[in-house]
Structure 1
Amino acid sequence: MTRCRLCGSGALESVVDLGATPPCESFLSADRLDLPEPAYPLHLRICTDCRLAQIPPLITPEETFKEYAYFSSFSTSWVEHARTFVAGAVERLGLGADAFVVEVASNDGYLLKHVVDRGIRCLGIEPSVNVGAAARDAGVPTLTEFLSPETGAAVRAEHGPANLVVANNVYAHIPDVVGFTRGLRALVADDGWVSVEVQHLLTLIEENQYDTIYHEHFQYYTVDSAIRALASGGLALVDVELLPTHGGSIRLWARPAEVAGEPTARVADVLAREKAAGLQELSGYTEFSARVAKVRRDLLRFLIDAAERGETVVGYGAPGKGNTLLNHCGIRPDLLAYTVDRNPYKHGRFTPGTRIPILPPERIAADRPDYVLVLPWNLRDELVEQLSYVHEWGGRLVFPIPELSIVEVES
């Protein structure tokens, strides 16, 4: 990487180098285990001019998203998060039966189904063929496309401008941030609203959430850098909300620059927090690499000690972020016998790079392991409740992020 993808500057400084890993959602079928597996550098850098954190665009969205292993509806808390958002947006914006809502990267319809239930016209734009088909089966109108300025203009011409455009957990996933933002502007009405949810770089750094760095995430936003990114497509930030999702996210409320007006006090408050944390200069990033190395050492020490005591450790979940952690730590089936996942698509497959088997969740109760390593640590409260049954045989839960934590659960 020699140039910033937002401003074109060559002033890029290293934040953390995680080596080389396979793409995090490239789960392996059994017949691929003896075949070569490509791996790509995973090196986060910060542009010291526009302050956008980014990794090199070594894989394309087309490689990742044409057939995708992640279905949003398998997370109970995420579906509830979407329902709450829709209810709040309808009230905040006064959306009625004559409104039009578009979601970009709409996945399996987890969010728009709540819009459909309210009788509001909507459309999902989802590039993955398999999850888009699941959305249509659920009654959510869905277009199988990547968003570009041309796609946005075509949708607007056919369906009319959108009163609300939603882009949840996609703004980090596109290497052409300027083109994507122009696509959002093409979709939204001249007096409409755009809502973007994306992980907050402030909490990623403060909470040591380095496993959310992976090849699908091309950039990582503060509110400060998001303002610049939105402006590249003619949008202006109006308001921001801090969310607990994904370990700490921001919801950016933006409008076309011509009608946006002054941002709320919450925008200034978050910008002040980011400045106080040093994220508007290089100093805020200098200690991150050392804290990442400590997570690796602590987790490996725990797994090796457990193996030497003859104790069994299995995983729960097979999220993309888990594969960054597993590969960075060099964890193989000798230290983590298998992991389980609620998504049947992943059953019988193996984690990329580390080749750990993925099994149905029922396997945990059948095997009664001593420890369950929880890979989707961001769902901690939900999963402590779901996994309370491990208490029956004295099992314990292990959370690796932000620091190693071993939890006694109660039934």
Structure 2
Amino acid sequence: MIVCRLCGSGAMAGVVDLGATPPCELFLTADRLDQPEQTFPLHLRVCTDCWLAQLPPLITPEDTFTEYAYFSSYSSSWVEHARRFVDGLTLWPDSFVVEVASNDGYLLQHVVERGVRCLGIEPSANVGAAAVEKGVPTLTEFLSPEVGRRVREEHGPADVVVANNVYAHIPDVVGFTQGLRALVADDGLVAIEVQHLLTLMELNQYDTIYHEHFQYYTVASAQRALASGGLTLVDVELLPTHGGSIRLWAKPSGEPSERVADVLAREKAAGLHEISGYANFAARVAKVRRDLLRFLIDAADAGKTVVGYGAPGKGNTLLNHCGIRPDLLAYTVDRNPYKHGRFTPGSRIPILPPEAIETDRPDYVLVLPWNLRDELVEQLSFVREWGGRLVFPIPRLEVVE
């Protein structure tokens, strides 16, 4: 029996079943192409008691994050987003900032530049090493209550704890939140950025459902999750990042702001605090799939070439759910050299350096990291030189002239 990881309830309702796929970040090397891949069900459910949307923990964080293919700094807009966040913090010379899942130092590098003491906690040794090269002190660990207490004992309590794009990645929600509480000073702040289930549902962003995202938050369910570890949600911001995110501000004690009440009211109006709000999502997902496949098949029949841009985890959910293979998408490109020469999991589409697009001049470029649309439209402006067009699959199929 599947039970809710937050409240323990067995009242779990299906939201959308995307079949079975490999873990989205396990990119294949050429010597593994003749070997089998393990797949896992990708069925999103929601708890009708606490309204946390979630996947069963079929893989462990250790399976995914011990060596990781995602380096945050390859997105210039994300680095700039992090810089603006740090600029907005009130920090003193003796402040102490900790970031959990600090990746390659994309955010803490800005703290280092300000001469403020900081520490990254990053489980992936390969990306953590990139942070150290930037001068960001980094501890290679998964956050737990024990690790949080140890860091506090060794370094003192943190004035600010940052946890961007990690709160969805941990199956032990309560233990992780307790770890955050152990890190932060009694008068300190915890800032968490995570995708907002409201925009995921409204804008058909189903490709962000993958195995390393164990849960999907409304402000209502995040408020309960924070309370489970001894933190109080005191404020929330709506952000455009990742297609629509929430920045949760939490403290060991405090009162929720009016903005928290406003977003809770929006979620309730959308039906996400009751089962009715989830009823039509699977049908809208199916339409995204049909529209994209119809476009790719028609393009192939017309002798047009289609390649991809980007190899994000979300792209692998889309490719596998749609059954897209190299006959419909010849290859995709990515700025991350780690992925060059590898193949996407499941769909086994080759990943090449970005220069391949300019060399081959395809008719269409399917943009898989659609959340970086503004940044990528500018980067790919050269495609118009030969009459090429960009294709965005989410929230609905759009071919850009």
Deviations 1:235-263 (A, max 9, x none): 00000000000000000000003xx1x21
Aligned residue type for 2:224: R
Question: Which residue matches 2:144?
Answer: 148
- The equivalent position to 2:240 in structure 1, one of 237, 244, 247, is 244
Aligned residue type for 1:111: L
Question: Which residue matches 1:33?
Answer: 33
Aligned residue type for 1:264: S
Aligned residue type for 1:322: G
Aligned residue type for 1:198: V
- The equivalent position to 1:113 in structure 2, one of 104, 109, 114, is 109
Alignment of 1:74 with 2:74, yes or no, is yes
Question: Which residue matches 1:54?
Answer: 54
Alignment of 1:327 with 2:323, yes or no, is no
Alignment of 1:325-404 (within 5 A): 325-404=318-397
Alignment of 1:266 with 2:259, yes or no, is yes
Deviation at residue 51 of structure 1 after TM alignment: 0.4
Deviation at residue 101 of structure 1 after TM alignment: 0.2
Deviation at residue 175 of structure 1 after TM alignment: 0.2
Question: Which residue matches 1:233?
Answer: 229
Question: Tell me, what secondary structure is at the counterpart of 2:79?
Answer: helix
Deviations 1:51-97 (A, max 9, x none): 000001000000100000000000000000000000112xxxx3111
- Residues of 2 paired with 1:354 and 1:103: CA distance? 34
Deviations 1:80-127 (A, max 9, x none): 0000000112xxxx3111000000000000000000000000000000
- Residues of 1 paired with 2:32 and 2:107: CA distance? 34
Deviation at residue 264 of structure 1 after TM alignment: 1.1
Alignment of 1:88 with 2:88, yes or no, is yes
Question: Tell me, what secondary structure is at the counterpart of 2:271?
Answer: coil
- Residues of 2 paired with 1:170 and 1:45: CA distance? 20
- Residues of 2 paired with 1:322 and 1:358: CA distance? 12
Alignment of 1:187 with 2:183, yes or no, is yes
Aligned residue type for 2:93: A
Aligned residue type for 2:300: A
Aligned residue type for 1:254: A
Aligned residue type for 1:79: V
- Residues of 2 paired with 1:276 and 1:370: CA distance? 42
- The equivalent position to 1:196 in structure 2, one of 185, 192, 199, is 192
Deviation at residue 387 of structure 1 after TM alignment: 0.2
Alignment of 1:97 with 2:90, yes or no, is no
Question: Which residue matches 1:5?
Answer: 5
- Residues of 2 paired with 1:263 and 1:371: CA distance? 47
Question: Which residue matches 1:177?
Answer: 173
- Residues of 2 paired with 1:83 and 1:66: CA distance? 26
Alignment of 1:122-133 (within 5 A): 122-133=118-129
Aligned residue type for 2:22: P
Aligned residue type for 2:273: Q
- Residues of 2 paired with 1:300 and 1:131: CA distance? 35
Aligned residue type for 1:61: P
Question: Which residue matches 1:275?
Answer: 268
- Residues of 2 paired with 1:199 and 1:157: CA distance? 32
Alignment of 1:289-304 (within 5 A): 289-304=282-297
Deviation at residue 211 of structure 1 after TM alignment: 0.1
Deviations 1:135-189 (A, max 9, x none): 0011000000000000000000000000000000000000000000000000000
Instruction: Provide the aligned C-alpha RMSD in A.
Output: 0.5
- The equivalent position to 1:136 in structure 2, one of 132, 138, 141, is 132
Question: Tell me, what secondary structure is at the counterpart of 2:20?
Answer: strand
- Residues of 2 paired with 1:62 and 1:51: CA distance? 27
Aligned residue type for 2:56: P
Question: Tell me, what secondary structure is at the counterpart of 2:104?
Answer: coil
Deviation at residue 2 of structure 1 after TM alignment: 1.3
Question: Which residue matches 2:280?
Answer: 287
Q: Which ranges of structure 2 fall in alignment gaps of 5 or more residues?
A: none
Deviation at residue 377 of structure 1 after TM alignment: 0.3
Deviation at residue 25 of structure 1 after TM alignment: 0.1
Deviations 1:9-58 (A, max 9, x none): 00000000000000000000000000110000000000000000000100
* Count of residue pairs brought into register by the alignment: 401
Deviation at residue 193 of structure 1 after TM alignment: 0.4
